[in-house]
């Protein structure tokens, strides 16, 4: 069965795992999901990620979640902005600041996936995929 929005599925799996206080979560892997995981790790929202193979030979992205000292998840909210039914594109000057710089907007540009800060620095816009704080 094909999935209509794999990125929303990834974000929902991470959100549900954080809410249930799981240590890690497994997600079907793709290049886009690996790049999103890379950005989350670079911005210290997750501890680590790696690709493992299942018994069937399918690649799975394993994301190790990050928690603060009190057991509170570092990721407060994951929000999908652009969807297959309603794509949301922003110019370089229209990229939103998430929680006054405490959060990150993930933007898919012609130069690859990058955070809002990187996109503003390179003066490039694109599809606004998700907001994380």
Residue 92 belongs to a domain with what CATH number?
3.30.1490.10
pLDDT on residue 61: 98
Q: How many domains does the chain have?
A: 2
pLDDT on residue 74: 96
pLDDT on residue 3: 83
Domain that includes residue 32, residue range: 6-65
Which parts of the chain register pLDDT below 50?
none
With respect to residue 120, please indicate whether it lies within any of the assigned structural domains. Answer: yes
Q: Is residue 35 classed as helix, strand or coil in its secondary structure? A: helix
Give the DSSP letter string of 103-130.
SEEEEEETTEEEEHHHHHHHT--EEEEE
Q: Which of 5, 60, 2 is nearest to 34 (CA)?
A: 60
């Amino acid at each position: 069965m094909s999935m209509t929005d794999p990125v929303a599925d990834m974000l929902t799996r991470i959100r549900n795992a954080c809410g249930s206080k799981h240590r890690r979560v497994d997600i079907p892997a793709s290049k886009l999901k690996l790049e999103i995981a890379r950005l989350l790790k670079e911005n210290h929202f997750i501890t680590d990620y790696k690709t493992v193979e299942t018994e069937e030979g399918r690649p799975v992205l394993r994301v190790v979640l990050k928690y603060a000292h009190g057991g509170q998840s570092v990721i407060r909210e994951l929000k999908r902005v652009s969807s297959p039914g309603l794509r949301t594109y922003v110019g370089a000057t229209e990229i939103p600041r998430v929680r006054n710089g405490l959060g990150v907007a993930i933007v898919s540009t012609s130069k690859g996936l990058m955070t809002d800060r990187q996109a503003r620095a390179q003066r490039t816009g694109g599809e606004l995929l998700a907001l994380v704080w």
